[in-house]
């Protein structure tokens, strides 16, 4: 099984135009997989919007400090015009490729193809929230089904709104709208691929733990002023407890945890007792126990199982590469290959994918990863049920 990425900016580089040469390349790769008996996870590539889509009304997210993210996925959260363009793109993809051999389709909203808004400093300013364009604030050009801000003009951290002191209840309502809007954009995408006849699994990639319940309460009492926000989950709009309950209402959805053996695992396995490994009853205790010492994959897997969602996963990839969340403490790729598949089995994941494919074919001496295809084969054979 492999992931096949289709990049929107290469598929439709100009308004209303499809690059036939690129479509041919994608179709050839897909047909090679079909002939070889390799199933495909199709990534629709909305994390790579073409320039013309960014120039549509509301085509780029606006931050609370006026910033625009340097890197962002297609603005399908609020913009009606962008959603219309995405509809056209999806119709072309389905017409050109079909669904034969497609085991799953990946859906997300940010620059890495995962659920969430950009990071807090994506626009060059600190701690920006990302729902301050005309559509989310004024309702101008707002997508059908999306909802405008319940507190137009209010900026997180500000103590007053329209001449009155802001209450904790108002902040909680604003947060529910902000986090709800991003997951509803994923639900909209799911509805589009179902409308076009897709009946397979839908993967929603996620990273980290999102906002922990204790942090969520402290943050609301602080009016979202930056407290209780250790990894920028607030600006990213990641409230997995509530968002997973929405995704669970959709047919055939799996949470794809993209950080099996990330730095949180390295830290959690040093706790006494170790807190990196999933346990059978985690989903029963995840809301009543202090999960702050758990690894991200253990905590998020428990939330997914609690919601009744399917689970798949992948390792974060080389710790020195972009978008892997790596640090000086992260495990090497060779160590990830040993740890991540075991985590997947323990957490009841139905699929494990090795990220990134090219590392398996570079050879041990080329990039120093210490990983090649034979190592992957050995790990899978060791873990495969007999």
| Element spanning 253, H or E | strand 253-257
Report CA torsion sign: 308, 83, 136, 116. positive
Residue 62: Cβ-neighbour burial (10 angstroms; 0-12, 13-18, 19+): buried
Instruction: Assign residue 63 the CATH number of its domain.
Output: 3.20.20.80
Whole-number CA gyration radius for the chain:
21
User: Smallest Cα–Cα separation from 50: which of 85, 97, 98?
Assistant: 85
**Per-residue pLDDT reduced to its tens digit, 280-321:** 999 999 999 988 899 999 999 999 999 999 999 999 988 887
Tell me whether residue 314 is in a domain.
no
CA 246 – CA 244 distance, rounded (Å): 5
187, 311, 351, 354 from 318: Cα distances, Å: 31, 23, 20, 11
Judge whether 266 lies within some domain.
Answer: no
Domain contains 154: yes
| CA separation for the pair 42, 330 (Å, rounded) | 28
pLDDT of residue 386: 65
Mean predicted confidence (pLDDT) in 153-180: 98
Residue 285 lies in a domain: no
Residue 123: the pLDDT is 92
Stated pTM of the model: 0.96
The answer to whether residue 127 sits within a structural domain is yes
How many structural domains is the chain composed of? 1
Give a yes or no: residue 137 inside a domain. yes
Q: Is residue 109 part of a domain?
A: yes
Lowest mean pLDDT among 118-132, 172-186, 313-327: 313-327
Judge if the upstream peptide bond of residue 134 is cis by omega within 30 degrees of 0: no
- Domain of 159, in residue numbers: 2-251
Evaluated on CA atoms 59, 63, 67, 71, the torsion sign reads: negative
């Amino acid at each position: 099984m492999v992931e096949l990425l289709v990049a929107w900016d290469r598929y439709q580089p100009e308004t209303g135009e499809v690059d036939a040469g690129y479509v041919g390349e994608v179709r050839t790769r897909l047909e090679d997989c079909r002939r070889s008996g390799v199933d495909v996870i199709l990534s629709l590539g909305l994390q790579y919007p073409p320039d013309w889509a960014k120039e549509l009304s509301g085509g780029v997210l606006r931050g609370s400090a006026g910033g625009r993210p340097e890197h962002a996925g297609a603005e399908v959260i609020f913009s009606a015009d962008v959603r219309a363009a995405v509809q056209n793109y999806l119709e072309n993809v389905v017409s050109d490729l079909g669904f034969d051999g497609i085991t799953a389709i990946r859906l997300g909203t940010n620059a890495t193809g995962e659920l969430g808004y950009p990071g807090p400093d994506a626009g060059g300013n600190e701690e920006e929230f990302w729902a301050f364009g005309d559509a989310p604030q004024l309702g101008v050009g707002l997508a059908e089904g999306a909802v405008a801000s319940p507190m137009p003009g209010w900026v997180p951290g500000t103590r007053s709104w329209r001449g009155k002191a802001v209450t904790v209840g108002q902040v909680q309502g604003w947060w529910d709208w902000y986090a709800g809007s991003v997951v509803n954009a994923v639900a909209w995408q799911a509805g589009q691929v179902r409308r076009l006849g897709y009946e397979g699994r839908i993967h929603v990639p996620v990273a980290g733990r999102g906002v922990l319940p204790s942090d969520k309460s402290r943050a609301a009492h602080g009016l979202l002023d930056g407290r209780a926000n250790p990894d920028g989950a607030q600006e990213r709009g990641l409230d997995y407890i509530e968002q997973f309950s929405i995704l669970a209402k959709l047919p055939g959805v799996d949470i794809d945890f993209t950080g099996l053996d990330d730095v949180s695992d390295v830290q959690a396995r040093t706790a006494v007792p170790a807190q990196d490994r999933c346990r059978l009853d985690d989903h029963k205790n995840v809301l009543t126990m202090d999960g702050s010492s758990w690894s991200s994959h253990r905590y998020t897997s428990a939330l997914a199982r609690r919601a009744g969602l399917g689970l798949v996963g992948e390792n974060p990839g080389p710790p020195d590469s972009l978008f892997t969340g790596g640090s000086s403490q992260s495990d090497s790729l060779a160590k990830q290959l040993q740890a991540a598949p075991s985590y997947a089995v323990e957490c009841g994941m139905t699929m494990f994918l090795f990220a990134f494919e090219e590392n398996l074919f570079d050879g041990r001496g080329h990039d120093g990863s210490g990983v090649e295809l034979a190592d992957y084969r050995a790990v899978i054979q060791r873990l495969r049920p007999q």
